[in-house]
Chains A and B, each alone.
Chain A
């Protein structure tokens, strides 16, 4: 194995004349062997015991099969080994890295190393010392380090340092050296553009789509089901580096291409995958998280119409969710509702959506004449006005409508056509609990929002929105009635949020003004909604869904962050904006906007967002 020579067609192979070497002075074949060997041994080590006591969560004391964090390290080890073999040019395996495997090996090894060492350190710290490690723990620490060293020894094209100005001060020289160091690190993890994808028969491509969705569902279910902090951190580490490795290997580009060719299949498949989620759960505990994530994600997607398509920065968007929720709760037959009526759900949905729509038009009509930052400030104000008004409509400060800060409580469970959402049901041997019931209902609402987003985005009105976002003056000169078009975007966004609000009222039992803050620790609130859109990727469907899932899960799972949650959130946002301003799932347009034409195709394959 070690005597094999690098496949000449590996894109990251050095070009003539360019200086190519690894970060360490180890010959490339040795580095590759080290990476592959380290990967294999890491996989083997996950079958050993890492500690002697089951006090560390996940029970890492068993010889014979991996548990908890060991499974994550196992996956990382397998990825590292596969990419290392692909880097060797082993026939068959090479196909998994269409953009060159070297950068992928580095990232996979880094992910494995981070997860393994995090586990080992967590064991030592929590149980009080290195003595708590069994041999397996030591072995995995060494093998994952060896794999990392081997991977980092793989050659890459070092960038030429810019000439130093001899007159510059010591500080400027240091900055220059640092900048060069950063360029070198970036070059070490750079990879070429992926080989073009051969056209497969459509059944095969659809199978690939199904596999991608299954992988997505598995990862999501695993993440949502992580039951202790250490496992979730390990999951984040591995998922982050693993995704980066797949991306550098060119697999993500291929997956995007294939799903782009079968958009409808992918969309339907994604909904089927989401609908399967409750069946993977044994109790209602994580279905609760699922339905909250779905509410958050749906509202974020609605906001994406306003922000991502029409470019209207709305900082009070959560108010529309509140209007929908209040409207639905007032007619839900709750004892604290002053109306005391109990409408059927379809009527409540209609009322909630229409109330939000009216509210949206009322706020939009005077404010949409403003542009940019001014609009953001005014919507921020209106969002707060809604919350304070709801607080004051308690019978003492104003008319008794919302029951003040106590809110509308004891909202009864829904009952649609005799299907009681409050009670568990048995479907094909699976027990579907209360939150799972609402999860399915919410999924329908999400489908409606996705449909509206997709269809309106790719039409005359959607183009008008994008045109307004791009250049309002030119859009007006092209005959677009800017105010009207913006008002439609604002009203549609409000209406969709109200729709989600009607379901939210029933899921949470209680609707209080404090659920609809501008910024708070618990999503959804306006700041988090906007963050989900920006983080996920403006103007896409998948972006806000993934952004919302992350923004909900991370604070929920990492309870120990406590008061530092918002701080960590801010730091994460700054880092993201620095290194990936187009979001996790970039719109093709945005990618072109933020990166040079060199790393992106000049033409879009299909028109439309």
Chain B
């Protein structure tokens, strides 16, 4: 099932509630440093799960363990019941697609070509087929293009199919990366900070896009620092702190958890209602102190768009 790489139709939606991704005790060590320690996470079918945590908590490392870029030191990751292969291209073929924290498009290829590259695992025309150009080649190529144009239409980039990816504005590059990931017909989509660097309108549009992807029957696991985005979007949120999962639950549970607030803010507040409010309180306090006009950083939105530790 998961190793079937030749399906051309969209994957059959599994029964609701069936687990798509099961990570059990995932531990990743780099020498003496343990970046991820014994994390369990389950993503069910048609579910949007958020993964949050302060910078350096191991979110992206955990993502890389899920996508085969790293092989976990301990523990295992199952996708629809079978253990993930240790190579990232095999993971994609199995049905997990991802985007990157710092956009990694093929900058000098056109928008359409980027999506066509995403179709790689779902087509199988090899070198000889390309040189001999039989009828099968033309059929497959036309089908790939049609599917790619559909996806571009879905994310709203159809009119820019011939542009170079590098010439797209930032928000559209993010969208293109999602379209490229969708082209591999995944059952689970991993989004690594999809709204980093976006303005509120673009964030809102991305939210809609993620809901639409969920409605296609694709489970979504998303890392994000934008709390409003996460709590609007996710059915469940897991909090990762210092490589360990602190808490997991729906938005209200996580927002109300003192340990989460502590992890983000460094100290617990007496009766702190939630991370967001806590941030507002802190900001107000800082302004009250009015120390030489240095604006305090908003700790819940410390997105790091320039972070290059993607792999």
Q: Which A residues fall within an 8 A CB radius of B? A: 451-452, 455-456, 459-464, 466-467, 470-471, 473-482, 488, 492, 589-590, 592-593, 597, 602-608
Contacts and interface: CB of A to CB of B under 8 A. Distances in A.
B163 interface: yes
A466 B105 CA distance: 12
A461 B117 contact: no
A480 B137 contact: no
Nearest to A451: B131
Interface stretch (B108-116, B150-158, B265-273): B108-116
A59 B62 CA distance: 80
B167 interface: yes
A266 to B, nearest CB: 19
B61 interface: no
Interface in B102-147: 104-110, 112-113, 116-121, 123, 125-127, 129-131, 133, 137, 140-141, 144
Interface string B204-225: 0000000000000000000000
Contacts of A471: 104-107
Interface residues of B, number: 49
B100 interface: yes
A211 B241 CA distance: 70
Contacts of A461: 125-127, 130
List 3 tightest A-B contacts by C-beta distance, closest first.
A479-B121, A459-B130, A479-B92
B88 A607 contact: no
A455 B133 contact: yes
Contacts of B123: 460
B45 interface: no
A40 to B, nearest CB: 46
B58 to A, nearest CB: 19
Contacts of B164: 589, 592, 602-604
A459 B141 contact: yes
A479 B3 CA distance: 13
B130 to A, nearest CB: 3
A592 B130 contact: no
24 contacts: A451-B131, A452-B131, A455-B130, A456-B127, A459-B130, A460-B119, A460-B141, A461-B125, A461-B127, A463-B120, A470-B108, A470-B109, A471-B104, A473-B69, A474-B104, A474-B105, A477-B92, A478-B121, A482-B89, A492-B127, A592-B164, A603-B163, A604-B162, A608-B113
Given A480-B89, A480-B117, A604 B110 contact: yes
Contact of B117 (A464, A603, A604): A464
A467 B180 CA distance: 12
A478 B163 contact: no
Contacts of B163: 602-604
Q: Which of A459, A461, A477, A597 has the most C-beta atoms of chain B within 10 angstroms of its own C-beta?
A: A477
A477 B106 CA distance: 12
A382 B121 CA distance: 33
Contacts of A467: 106, 109, 117, 120
A476 B89 contact: yes
Contacts of A608: 113
B184 interface: yes
A605 B112 CA distance: 12
A488 B100 contact: no
A397 to B, nearest CB: 38
Given A452-B131, A456-B127, A592-B164, A463 B92 contact: no
A473 B107 CA distance: 13
Contacts of A602: 163-164, 167
